[in-house]
Structure 1
């Protein structure tokens, strides 16, 4: 589960969820990449403006 508010480039470690080794499983490292759509509808733009007003 990715925590709310996670920023682009954040690394999250999942212990014991990586590749199998002789001594057990390694850790899986996930790097978050946030990507916004290139084109936004009027409604989407309005919602982003609302978020902007809240200080996020």
Structure 2
């Protein structure tokens, strides 16, 4: 699946770390600046469910 994270650099880093606990992160793009707010960024990631993830 493709996921977009949008927020401050600290927020996107924290969200990526949390998502990595549940999903297998296959690829993360470079940060793209937000068009409306220079303090925010967008990153995109490709991920798949972890086989060992609890349900």
TM-score, scaled to structure 1 = 0.28
TM-score normalised by the chain length of structure 2? 0.29
Q: Which has the higher strand share?
A: 2
| Structure with the larger RCO, 1 or 2 (CA within 8 Å, 6+ apart) | 2
Q: Report which of the two structures shows the higher radius of gyration computed on alpha carbons.
A: 1
